[in-house]
Structure 1
Amino acid sequence: MGRPGGLLLLPLLLSLPSGAGAGSCEPQASCEACVRSHPRCAWCEDPDFTRGGQAEATRCAPRDALERAGCPPRAVIDPRGSVWVLQDAELGAGGGQRGPTQLRPQSVQLRLRPGEEQSFQVRFRRAPGHPVDLYYLMDLSYSMKDDLENVRRLGSDLLAALRNVSSSVRIGFGSFVDKTVLPYVSTVPSKLRNPCPERQEPCDPPAAFRHVLSLTGDAAAFAARVSRQRISGNLDAPEGGFDAILQVAVCEERIGWRPVTRLLVFASDDTFHMAGDGKLGGIVLPSDTRCHLDAHGVYTRSHLYDYPSVGHLAQVLSAANIQPIFAVTGPTVPVYQELSRLIPKSVVGELREDSSNVVQLIADAYNSLSSTVELQHSPLPPGISLSYESHCGGPPGPPRPHGGICTGVLVNQEVTFTVRVRADACLSTPQRVGLRVLGFAEELSLELDTLCECSCTHHQPQVHLCHGGTLLCGVCRCPEGRRGRRCECEGVEEEGGCRPPNSTGPPCSGRGRCVCGACECPPGLSGSLCECDSGSCERHGGLPCGGPQRGECVCGTCRCRDGFGGSGCGCALGRESCVSGGRECSGHGSCVCGTCRCQPGYVGPLCAHCPSCRTPCQRLR
């Protein structure tokens, strides 16, 4: 995936090599394996980099180590990830049906090297007057009889209340009772037609869900359609509301949902059936998550599919970007509060026995939901992880793996999230991940690709250097029948030069590979027969020969760099740190490995103090 032309990397975007210190860079057999193994690993593609029996795997090392070993900087392959902003419209711009822009940026492209972390910032500003769609889903079991009378007068009051905070509001209506099979409702034909306790009282047949009115801004239409609704009835106390919620979420076209803030008011005075309860009626098939409304808006498959589980319901509501408001009576509030903890961006309000406070309850719930800004992502490809740091006006919160959250956000207040993205595996194809603030339709498109290939300049077929082979990232790939670092050998392998004279032991001490009569040693071994172990030298500071800055291990013996000495190159030969005022160790000691070794009685880094030299009494005490 190439870089988009004409777009600049914003200064606020950061590249953080998180995890680079975890583990270390180990030699690898190819450039691709090298860049995938560790974010600090680089590859030298200079054809002349390996000499004297060195394995090609030694081309893989940290950049600074390769350059110290003689690899020209232009020949170092060390791909780095990048962050590019593709679309970044100003906050507050736009409008129309979707409302003003609240999320910025809108599109970002990331190229990730495995093990390396990239980060960018997302800004959200809560805009006033954001459009709202509200669907009122009501329990019409017989115990809700007095509530229905108040809901019939709800339309104009509810629209008026929401128009105080939104520029565009639409409302719809639906009802539910339960599945129309035993033991949930009576299947006696007369009871199916009229389930009310008093046969003279007119009641509607029970239904798992009946869609009555699609979303509209016409309060009169809402009042007219709801006024024609009649109460219904069932046998058991828990209701079939989960079936109804799922159909409201998946039947987007029939309900009339717009890409705006979506609210679902669920009004009931009892608890709910959930997955597994369908077995009581011989129903075992899990919900297929499809819309099954007939021409009259009735859910026709309730006798075939079990109730959805809480997890299934949470997933469907989140995918549809619907925020539930559970308006329930006092005794059931604790149950729905537990349910709300499992369903993202939901809230519970206590409904009076006759639903007379429902308008104020919805207005309060809307304000509570709108003031909570929660940034989350869609499902991630394997090997990709995200974390969020929330900046809500105070000190940033700790990183969270599943989303960022700010509460109590006011209208026109801006909050920021730092999103960190990491790839621990290579993607086979570019992937897309969506980021959005729950309850809002806007989405940030995150385009992800991984850097797992090497763009080498030395990739030429049939070059003279490789005697007819292919030069790939500085390494000759030999044709059939040829061997050697430059494919210079042909015919049967000769192993005579890979053993000591008159020896029948394994070639190259059993630790290397015999190529064209010479030993090719793995990393860490050297010598004409791979007999030398570079890790067997004396150590200083835990490293052989004090590490690459002080010396190197050559066949068991330290070869120290200038300025260092000693058996393990642990001795700094410079005397500058021992001299002050032209005197070495103040004349009371000698400089050993860059440190003063003081005479008896003298102390300090330059042997300048002698606490016991002040008086004869102190000296002879």
Structure 2
Amino acid sequence: MFGLLVLLLFTSTEAAVNCSSASTCTECISLPYSCFWCYTPGLARCLSPEDKDNCSTSLSSYSSAINEINELPISDQNQVSLKSVSLKLRVNESIDVKVSVKASNDYPLDLYILMDLSSSFGTDLDNVKNIAPQLPLSLQNVSSSFKIGFGAFVDKPILPFTSNQQLMYDPMPGITIPFSYEHIVSLTNSSDLFNSELQDISISTNVDNPEGTLDAMLQAVVCDDVIEWREDSRKILLVMTDDVLHTAGDGSLAGIVKPNDGLCHTEYDESTNRTLYTASLLQDYPSMELVKMTLTNNDVVPVFALAGVSDDIFALYNESVSPFLNGFSVALQKDSSNLISVLIEAYRKVVANAQLSFNLPDHISATVKANCSNYFPQRRECVEIGNETVEFTMSVSLRECTQELRDNKSTDIIVTIPGFSRFLIKVSGHCSCECESQSTRGSTECSKNGNLTCGLCNCDEGWEGSTCSCSTLQCPVGLNGKTCNGRGACECGECHCYNVNSAELSDIDSTMLDTTSVDNPLIYGAACECSNYECLTDGDGTVCSGEGECQCYNGTYECLCAVSALTGERRTGEWCQCSTDHCIDPDANNQTLLCSGNGTCSPCEPKGQACTCNDLYSGPYCEESTFVSGTLLGSCDNSVRDCVICYGEAARSESENSSISCGSSSCDNFALLTSSPSDDYIIPGSLPNSNTDCSFISGECQYTYIAGRGPDGEDLYAVPPRICLPIPIWAIVTILLVLIILLGIGILIAIKCCCMYLDYKEYNSFKAEVSKASFERMENPMYHTPDVTYKNIAYGSE
């Protein structure tokens, strides 16, 4: 039995698919493997196989299936059991298609010979003409229903492929002007017609070695009206050549850059009575890929008959060109005298191998197996099948649903078995649910506020919920213009505020503050406009400094500060950062005394830095007396400058044995020093560590003095002699100015002397050059005097 066998393969991997992730019926059936859609109202959802019992009714399941099959038994007139099959696939659920192939002993044969007519093929053409009457007879041995045709090719008739001399006139008698492709004999079973047409053709010529083979092959395949290929026949294109071929891109050498369109451009020319390729100079050579696709789509098998080529050229065709084009290569003798035996060999090669050839779009995949003894999986080919019937198994699956499949369109896959036949696979997909086109408007299941589709309610605008019973039109809008302030979900007209740590809020509220300092962070309010964590924070990010409660009034935040347990006063400040507690010494006996009573309190400063102490007191809370501890320093006071100047003068005068009196009521507690004291000098009678060195400048003199504190807090001063400059400052400044002016004048004089010296040298050099020159008086050679003198030869004669 030769026919199509179809197997549905289910792979038990549903556990890897999360069916519940699908929210619609179409999404559910588009998931790989067996997910089911329950469309019972109120229970509509996508179920996995183990959960489908939870929806005993209204269960929608789609499986891959065969829609239509067209198959024929294998006979002498039919070599492939399948003509067409229509599949409807579910994603990742495959169908096995088995097709049988057997080579017929008497199958219709169409043979079109395409011959290279370049000058190197001249002897071959003569032999082909001689054996032309025998060619049809030889084909009767392989098929009783045969047709044979003939065409020829050279190359594009333009430089650098052919020369201008070759194009303008026949260089030699019996040589045809170069052409790209000429169709000579359409497929016929008339031996006389074939023979007579071949006798009239002549050899041609070109310049470069590669030939325009691909141009001719493409036209010979696509020009069906010219060649007259039959639909149900074994089609063989025999290409006779002795050199390599031009490929796409070579046309740019002649300025031909337009890509080949793959269409037929071969027409009959009444002026020359020839059928020629007319777009040769308009389009580039076709690519190998384009020729392969054309051969495959038209079920034509190429056979390259290579005449007297080198081993390298034969290897190129046999190992590269022929396998790529799904064809074969055979060797001709140098003069093509063995053409008949080569034809028989080529025919046997075509029918000896059965290969599935097809192209798949990205959303469809297929694997092929075969039961033949010599099977090559990578090429999907059975070789040397002889009279054996081989069976191919194609496992076709759908990778994903495309928009085309969702629009209920199908994808056509043409599977070609070169030399045998082809069959068509039409693939459509389970990519949409029928129930989605059967929506019930204003369904009671949807509270008459929506449409019921596949058991789901699609609510009208302003309604929501599984049964469309909740209104969304009455939810309040926040100050930012968003419903529920963007921080809550509107359900049935009310805002349900999100949890602070919810994923929804993290996507919506990008301005959230740190809530770690709040024990129970909340969002609340009719429009979710309030929270207990958005008040101002201190430098550590603590809301209300941790000393108050964050309160919200219509979206405006304010800290309600706590009352101090020490003073009974409420904390103040925008984030409760101010408190008189900052000025109370925790170790003091009196816990209500600010700054220990020895300073002023700044409650908004941090604890320990809020007190400004009075004189004679220090410490964080002004609890230490600097007078008692002996650490109060004497101060440099500008009010005593006059006394210091007087005592400085007196000290200097005293060292010079003169007497100056500075005694006055304002200069008490001053002492004279006859010389500058050492660094460890201490004013007699002053407190330890209370001395301070002071100094100032007055006029040209520097005055220094030492200030200290006595045991009773009195100021004590010791003044050494003043130190003055030996020359007054005004005299120093005057001398410096005079020196600067004199230096500038000297520089200007030096520059002027240098310039005068250089000018003097240049002038003497000029005089020397002039004395060496000699001038001579000359006439301008272009000048012609206007005076003309004529001599009268007869003047003075008798």
- Fold conserved (TM > 0.5)? yes
Residues 294-336 of structure 1 deviation map (CA, whole Å, 9 limit, x = unaligned) = 3211222222222222222222222222211111123131222
Matched, 1:484 2:459: no
Alignment of structure 1 residues 58-457 onto 2, 5 Å: 59-67=45-53, 71-92=54-75, 100-188=77-165, 192-195=168-171, 199=172, 201-259=173-231, 260-295=233-268, 296-328=274-306, 329-331=308-310, 332-377=313-358, 379-393=359-373, 404-411=380-387, 413-426=388-401, 427=405, 428-440=407-419, 442-456=421-435
Contact in 1 for aligned 2:36/2:61 (Cα 8 Å): yes
Q: Distance in 2 between matches of 1:456 and 1:298?
A: 59
Identity across aligned pairs (percent)? 30
Q: 1:450 is aligned with what amino acid?
A: G
Residues 512-563 of structure 1 deviation map (CA, whole Å, 9 limit, x = unaligned) = 89xxxxxxxxxxxxxxxxxxxxxxxxxxxxxxxxxxxxxxxxxxxxxxxxxx
Q: Distance in 1 between matches of 2:296 and 2:408?
A: 26
Q: Distance in 2 between matches of 1:281 and 1:205?
A: 18
Contact in 2 for aligned 1:264/1:324 (Cα 8 Å): yes
Matched, 1:465 2:440: no
Contact in 2 for aligned 1:155/1:220 (Cα 8 Å): no
Shift of the 470–393 alpha-carbon distance from structure 1 to 2, 3 Å rule, reads same
Residues 270-305 of structure 1 deviation map (CA, whole Å, 9 limit, x = unaligned) = 222222222222222222222222321122222222
User: Displacement of 1:355 after TM fit?
Assistant: 0.5
Shift of the 447–362 alpha-carbon distance from structure 1 to 2, 3 Å rule, reads same
Shift of the 72–313 alpha-carbon distance from structure 1 to 2, 3 Å rule, reads closer
Q: Distance in 2 between matches of 1:138 and 1:83?
A: 46
Shift of the 22–220 alpha-carbon distance from structure 1 to 2, 3 Å rule, reads farther
Q: Distance in 2 between matches of 1:16 and 1:169?
A: 43
User: Displacement of 1:145 after TM fit?
Assistant: 1.4
User: Displacement of 1:62 after TM fit?
Assistant: 0.6
Q: 2:239 is aligned with what amino acid?
A: F
Alignment of structure 1 residues 32-51 onto 2, 5 Å: 32-49=26-43
Q: Distance in 1 between matches of 2:318 and 2:398?
A: 37
User: Displacement of 1:479 after TM fit?
Assistant: 2.6
Residues 391-428 of structure 1 deviation map (CA, whole Å, 9 limit, x = unaligned) = 2257x875x6xx732111123x2111111111122213
Q: 2:39 is aligned with what amino acid?
A: E
Contact in 2 for aligned 1:311/1:342 (Cα 8 Å): no
Shift of the 238–477 alpha-carbon distance from structure 1 to 2, 3 Å rule, reads closer
TM-score in terms of structure 1 length: 0.70
Q: Distance in 2 between matches of 1:299 and 1:326?
A: 21
Q: 1:25 is aligned with what amino acid?
A: N
Contact in 2 for aligned 1:119/1:418 (Cα 8 Å): yes
Q: Distance in 2 between matches of 1:465 and 1:21?
A: 32
User: Displacement of 1:341 after TM fit?
Assistant: 4.3
Residues 363-384 of structure 1 deviation map (CA, whole Å, 9 limit, x = unaligned) = 111101111111223x445512
Residues 35-69 of structure 1 deviation map (CA, whole Å, 9 limit, x = unaligned) = 212323222223343xxxxxx7xx223121242xx
Shift of the 283–209 alpha-carbon distance from structure 1 to 2, 3 Å rule, reads same
User: Displacement of 1:204 after TM fit?
Assistant: 1.6
Which structure ranks higher in relative contact order (CA pairs < 8 Å, sequence separation ≥ 6)?
1
Shift of the 20–157 alpha-carbon distance from structure 1 to 2, 3 Å rule, reads farther
Q: Distance in 2 between matches of 1:459 and 1:297?
A: 62
User: Displacement of 1:150 after TM fit?
Assistant: 0.8
Residues 463-505 of structure 1 deviation map (CA, whole Å, 9 limit, x = unaligned) = 3232103332222222333332222233535999999xxx996
Shift of the 508–160 alpha-carbon distance from structure 1 to 2, 3 Å rule, reads farther
Deviates more, 1:333-342 or 1:25-34: 333-342
Shift of the 467–337 alpha-carbon distance from structure 1 to 2, 3 Å rule, reads same
Shift of the 20–297 alpha-carbon distance from structure 1 to 2, 3 Å rule, reads farther
Aligned to 2:563: none
Aligned to 1:540: none
Aligned to 1:619: none
Long gaps (5+) in structure 1: 1-9, 50-55, 93-98, 514-621
User: Displacement of 1:353 after TM fit?
Assistant: 0.8
Q: Distance in 1 between matches of 2:4 and 2:113?
A: 46
Q: 1:454 is aligned with what amino acid?
A: C
Shift of the 320–485 alpha-carbon distance from structure 1 to 2, 3 Å rule, reads closer
Aligned to 2:7: 14
Contact in 2 for aligned 1:239/1:271 (Cα 8 Å): yes
Q: Distance in 1 between matches of 2:120 and 2:4?
A: 61
Contact in 1 for aligned 2:110/2:235 (Cα 8 Å): yes
Residues 333-356 of structure 1 deviation map (CA, whole Å, 9 limit, x = unaligned) = 122224434533311111111101
Long gaps (5+) in structure 2: 269-273, 477-483, 506-798
User: Displacement of 1:193 after TM fit?
Assistant: 2.6
Q: Distance in 1 between matches of 2:490 and 2:220?
A: 77
Contact in 1 for aligned 2:109/2:235 (Cα 8 Å): yes
Q: 1:28 aligns with which of 22, 33, 36?
A: 22
Q: Distance in 1 between matches of 2:500 and 2:84?
A: 56
Contact in 2 for aligned 1:249/1:317 (Cα 8 Å): yes
Q: 1:506 aligns with which of 479, 485, 498?
A: 498
User: Displacement of 1:21 after TM fit?
Assistant: 5.1
Q: Distance in 1 between matches of 2:87 and 2:108?
A: 32
User: Displacement of 1:89 after TM fit?
Assistant: 2.4
